[in-house]
Structure 1
Amino acid sequence: MTSTAPATSPTFVNGDVSFWYREGGLPARRPALPGDLDVDVALVGGGLTGLWTAYYLKQAQPDLRIAVLEKEFAGFGASGRNGGWLSAEPPGQMHRYAKAHGWPAAVAMQREMFSSVDEVIRVAAAEGIEADIRKDGLLHVATNAAQQQRLRDRLPSLRAEGWGEDDLVELDADQLAERVRVAGARSAQWSPHCARIQPAKLVRGLADVVERMGVAIYEGTEVTEIRPGEAVTRLGTVRATNVIRALEGFTAGLRGSHRDWLPMNSSMIVTEPLEQSVWDEIGWRGAELIGDEANSYCYIQRTTDGRIAIGGRGIPYMYGSHVDQRGETRTATQLQLQAILRQHFPATRNTAIDHTWSGVLGVPRDWCATVHLDQRTGLGWAGGYVGHGVTTTNLAGRTLRDLILRQDTDLVRLPWVGRRVRGWEPEPLRWLGVRSLYVAYRAADRHENSGLARTSAIARLANVISGR
């Protein structure tokens, strides 16, 4: 008989933002906006995009008046719920950037992603932000013939995008097993450009740093409308020379932005601490991040306190671009993630789930992140990171700094700057399309697990329709 409930620990929690906040609890709220306010820069959204932008602006020009406006608390969204991958994975389809700006520009952006990983680590060390950071790299693992072929087929394009021999190393099954034993693994690719982080510690630490630098963070302050020179809230209007939208997956809730970026839902579970005998069977001694090559992929972390955190798509999209605020996860999704955990690591068969949660990430229609500033109106934005925001937010913050300060730098010439793309389809087409695509991806995975040698035709068609 199939279980209808996941195996949970006595301390099991569903939602409550994310597991990452269990250590230290949810933060005490900062004061809300006291009324109308005049500043130089208003940053709408208290996640990593807004905080990194504030950090670099204040470093470059300490006398700038900067306000961060956040509906809940700094780090409430994806910045405090993600899988903890500080990776150099590109935030979009590099061939699309290359088509518009040429391959040298796309390669330059990839190199900036490499350096951004180290920049986050540098700042955390310099500012005393303790976020459980450990840079042991990233493993992409193939567990069937079709996945293995995808890894091989992708390698030439990755080389063209700037991934050199030292940036991406091919591993056979035996070499992979020396790092971690993933059941059924055939091969893998390892990159050194990735670090494990504890997301809530990073975003909370960064918020404290920018506040000490003199940046005002107003929490419990929902921005309902953005217009040239103004960010409008129910508590007052913030007037600013530059108003920057940094809402990522919550962008659809802003007036006039309903179809800009799709709020894609992603869910996670984390186990109770594993016994040493289980770790010995898995053989995972380092802090490598792990992703599989399934079409409905998963992402995995070994936490600093000896748990496995694993995430993936559950219910990928809610009708009308609605988002769940507290991060609760449906039982079916918990079971799905638990099944993936058991499949990859059979030694966890008796290990219980301790916490589950969900969050949203922003997805543009062409799956490519953007940074933009209209110098005439002062309106700008950054986001649409398609799940690779922990590192990309840092690059976005430095790029927005240069755009706002009108600096002519290599960053403002990167191919994602000023990129525009059409909006998502109206409802019900949007809901039907996204839900159907992920049904197709799961079906494709079942076909590939049955012995297909190449990517399922279902997945190839779904990729064309989705724009991935």
Structure 2
Amino acid sequence: MGTTVFERLAPAASVVDHSLAGTRTGVFWTHDLPASLKPDRPPLRGVVRADLVVVGGGYTGLWTALLAKLRDPGRRVVIVEAQRVGWAASGRNGGFCEASLTHGRENGARRWPREIDELDRLGLANLDEIEAAVSSLGLDVQFERTGQLAPAVEDHQLEWLADWRDEAANDPGVVWLDELSMRAAVNSPTYLAGVWEKHTSALVHPARLAAELARACEERGVQIFERSHVTSLDEGVHGVRVVTPGGWVEARQAVLATNVFPSLLRRNRLMTVPVYDYVLMTEPLSDAQWAEIGWRDRQGIGDLANQFHYYRPTRDGRILFGGYDAVYHYGRRVDPRYENRPEAWRRLASHFFTTFPQLEGLRFSHQWAGAIDTSTQFTAFFGTARGGRVAYAAGFTGLGVGSTRFAGNVMLDLLDRADTERTNLEMVRRRPLPFPPEPAAAIGINLTRRSLDRADHREGRRDLLLKTLDAAGLGFDS
């Protein structure tokens, strides 16, 4: 096999060693959150009655609760969270708030060709509505509508960019950048060309988004109970009963927003797998270091490899750098032990200095990891249970910063039995294929990961396994 640019231009081991000396293991975003946005909410005790109970205090649950109150301010809404608001994926992601509901147009067109234009339109409208909500609700989340850069870092990726440029020839929001223009935008010696989608992505502070959504919910009367692990979902006196060790909630309706964690519905236990993603955060760059790399337009960046990197600037002048490794562990378990993977952080550090060799000497202040809820269609799936009294969404596959709000509207529509543009989507009505049970899941997922890595080392050429998955509608290329 060939090599990638990250192998051909790898920095010295001493550069990586220096950058990781003294790096703190912990999530930068939550460490950066002011105490005023981290109130200590009580656990559930006794019996609480509600019209709607939401299980899960991440983006999915918070958006659903907020939207429910905005639709009907008189509705009694309760959120029950096993840990703290936003402690899992919602507080530790990269902060890319994207318009796409389908993990890119190509992935969506492969699965829902008849409605991909509609899905793109709805996704862009959803992002516009998030931006409007940030303004109208006064959400201090460091929202920046900067768009996203997609650089080619290997010769074979130039053809993919050319196809993208031709397909978007009439879209003024998609800008083609040749090598010189790309290097003027962000100065990396790895960049051969790029595309800038100017309007389809924003940056946010992830932990602030969760905290501010919770604040907006509580200001409108939503009750939030933390440290209240839900043990069962039962039939209730008037609908459903959500049970915790300290008590339960009796409600007419329920929303399950547990995403990567095991579903309370047996039918959904095989629908997602947890895949671990790893991240580094630099210390703040000096003015001279920023001058070396430019990046004046502050776009989020995601390269074009199968095992891709994502990176972005922060409000206080740092760079977040993550991705590449996506690790599945046998048994579908979500376990804090899986978050400690020094080899993943060393690999990311090496790739960072390949991307920005002029920043040699910079240190990383934080390193962390988290689990992504992955579905076989690489986008969220939806449904109802218990006679339509329970709605669920899961499987966001790394797109949850933006698409969880769309999911909240879908679930509320489903609970209302409303005939809407959203509920009529094939993407909403059709469930994806489940993952197989173990050991088949581990074998299949890890063989696929190996094939994707091999494709990156073979000028993008996909092997028989990937071609078979593509033909079965299960393929994914980035």
TM-score (norm 2): 0.87
Partner SS, residue 36 of structure 1: strand
| Partner residue in 2 for 1:210 | 217
Contact 2:42/2:226 (8 A) holds in 1: yes
Code of the residue aligned with 1:184 in structure 2: it is T
Code of the residue aligned with 2:302 in structure 1: it is G
Q: Distance in 2 between matches of 1:421 and 1:377?
A: 20
Q: Distance in 1 between matches of 2:193 and 2:15?
A: 33
Q: Deviation string for 1:388-410 (max 9, x for gaps)?
A: 11110111122223333343332
Q: Distance in 2 between matches of 1:417 and 1:344?
A: 39
Matched residues, number: 456
| Partner residue in 2 for 1:21 | 30
| Partner residue in 1 for 2:418 | 407
1:220 to 211, 224, 227: 227
| Partner residue in 2 for 1:185 | 191
Equivalent positions of 1:449-468 (< 5 A) are 454-457=460-463, 460-461=466-467, 464=470, 467-468=475-476
Code of the residue aligned with 1:139 in structure 2: it is L
Q: Distance in 1 between matches of 2:232 and 2:121?
A: 36
Contact 2:178/2:194 (8 A) holds in 1: yes
Q: Per-residue deviation at 1:3?
A: 5.6
Partner SS, residue 447 of structure 1: coil
Contact 1:91/1:389 (8 A) holds in 2: no
| Partner residue in 1 for 2:8 | none
Q: 1:149 to 1:457 in 2, by over 3 A?
A: farther
Q: Distance in 1 between matches of 2:58 and 2:24?
A: 23
Q: Per-residue deviation at 1:384?
A: 1.2
Which stretch shifts more, 315-324 or 334-343? Answer: 315-324
Is 1:171 aligned to residue 181 of structure 2?
no
Contact 1:109/1:415 (8 A) holds in 2: no
Q: Distance in 1 between matches of 2:214 and 2:99?
A: 23
Partner SS, residue 412 of structure 1: coil
Contact 2:187/2:295 (8 A) holds in 1: yes
Contact 1:69/1:218 (8 A) holds in 2: yes
Code of the residue aligned with 1:215 in structure 2: it is V
Q: Distance in 2 between matches of 1:4 and 1:346?
A: 10
Q: Per-residue deviation at 1:214?
A: 0.6
Q: Deviation string for 1:7-32 (max 9, x for gaps)?
A: 346762113xx210111367343111
Q: Per-residue deviation at 1:212?
A: 1.1
Partner SS, residue 113 of structure 1: helix
Which stretch shifts more, 227-236 or 390-399? Answer: 227-236
Contact 2:19/2:361 (8 A) holds in 1: no
Contact 2:165/2:195 (8 A) holds in 1: no
| Partner residue in 2 for 1:231 | 242
Q: Distance in 2 between matches of 1:315 and 1:108?
A: 30
| Partner residue in 2 for 1:119 | 129
| Partner residue in 1 for 2:119 | 109
Code of the residue aligned with 1:352 in structure 2: it is R
Q: Distance in 2 between matches of 1:58 and 1:424?
A: 35
Contact 1:252/1:259 (8 A) holds in 2: no
Contact 1:223/1:254 (8 A) holds in 2: no
* 5+ long unaligned stretches in structure 2: 1-11
Is 1:148 aligned to residue 154 of structure 2?
no
Q: 1:164 to 1:109 in 2, by over 3 A?
A: farther
Code of the residue aligned with 2:294 in structure 1: it is G
1:345 to 356, 363, 385: 356
Contact 2:19/2:349 (8 A) holds in 1: no
Partner SS, residue 393 of structure 2: strand
Code of the residue aligned with 2:48 in structure 1: it is L
Partner SS, residue 436 of structure 2: coil
Equivalent positions of 1:16-415 (< 5 A) are 18-24=27-33, 27-92=38-103, 103=114, 105-153=115-163, 165-192=171-198, 193-227=200-234, 229-251=240-262, 257-314=268-325, 316-325=327-336, 328-374=339-385, 376-415=387-426
Which stretch shifts more, 370-379 or 353-362? Answer: 370-379
Contact 1:11/1:354 (8 A) holds in 2: yes
Q: Per-residue deviation at 1:375?
A: 8.0
Q: 1:225 to 1:152 in 2, by over 3 A?
A: farther
Code of the residue aligned with 1:395 in structure 2: it is F
Q: Per-residue deviation at 1:430?
A: 1.3
| Partner residue in 2 for 1:451 | none
Q: Distance in 2 between matches of 1:292 and 1:169?
A: 16
Which stretch shifts more, 23-32 or 122-131? Answer: 23-32
* 5+ long unaligned stretches in structure 1: 449-453
Q: 1:374 to 1:366 in 2, by over 3 A?
A: same
Q: 1:270 to 1:117 in 2, by over 3 A?
A: same
Q: 1:54 to 1:121 in 2, by over 3 A?
A: same
Q: 1:263 to 1:171 in 2, by over 3 A?
A: same
Q: Per-residue deviation at 1:457?
A: 3.8
Partner SS, residue 86 of structure 1: strand
Q: 1:97 to 1:460 in 2, by over 3 A?
A: closer
Partner SS, residue 429 of structure 2: coil
Q: Deviation string for 1:301-323 (max 9, x for gaps)?
A: 11111111011143511221112
Which stretch shifts more, 362-371 or 41-50? Answer: 362-371
Which stretch shifts more, 122-131 or 211-220? Answer: 122-131
Q: 1:371 to 1:252 in 2, by over 3 A?
A: closer
Q: Per-residue deviation at 1:95?
A: 6.7
CA RMSD in angstroms comes to 2.7
Q: Per-residue deviation at 1:374?
A: 4.6
Contact 2:84/2:227 (8 A) holds in 1: yes
Q: 1:11 to 1:252 in 2, by over 3 A?
A: farther
Q: Per-residue deviation at 1:53?
A: 0.8
Code of the residue aligned with 2:209 in structure 1: it is L
Contact 1:258/1:321 (8 A) holds in 2: no
Contact 1:93/1:367 (8 A) holds in 2: no
Code of the residue aligned with 2:82 in structure 1: it is K
Code of the residue aligned with 2:195 in structure 1: it is Q
Q: 1:43 to 1:429 in 2, by over 3 A?
A: same
